[in-house]
Amino acid sequence: MSDWLYSDTVKDHFTNPRNVLLEDESNFDYDAKGQTGNIKCGDQMLMLLKIENDIITDVRWKTYGCASAIASTSMLSDTIKGMNIEEAYKIKPEDLVAKLGGLPSFKVHCSVLGDKALRNAINDYLEKTGRPGIFVDATTVICHCLGITDKDIENAFTNGARNWEQLQQATKIGTVCGSCKEKAVELLHGFEHIYGN
């Protein structure tokens, strides 16, 4: 395709996604489950992890997302195998975008689904093993529909989001009910004062 906007790595992970939860794997024996996104806006992600001694030994995932979401989650699933859960918890969307050789700016928000589902799965595992909240930074959820926090907005700001439209491009915030817009825009203005333009 002459108008393909993605790197060869993205194309490979989109057309040959790794570790996808297949229909015949409905009995995949997992230790942790994480889900994020909202089917109303078309993006939803499920992640299942097998963990031994805090090491991720296997992973399966499923999404209703687009090519960018599929490719970034495929890359994430390969990356975290054999990784300690604390190290995996710290993976950021921009790490995945870099590994993929970049994504179009209007598709970067799709890469947040996988890492959010991963953190939810790790939190699920920590809860089950009696260690809830040990990796969690103090965050405030701003967009309750999609679970977007003040840290996600700060991260988007440091990566160039300066207005509501750019913040939506980076995070998908406000694409379900929109009630978070006022608080999110306030935070953007606050980060302008902290970081400058």
d(CA 69, CA 17): 11
Per annotation, catalytic residue among 110, 143, 145, 180: 110
143 classed as catalytic: no
**Two tokens, residue 131:** 């260690």
| Cβ neighbours for 195, distance < 8 A, ≥ 6 positions apart | 157, 158
Q: Regarding beta strands 43-52 and 32-38, do their DSSP bridges make them parallel or antiparallel, or are they unpaired?
A: antiparallel
d(CA 90, CA 81): 14
d(CA 37, CA 148): 10
177 classed as catalytic: no
Give me the active site residues, please. 41, 110
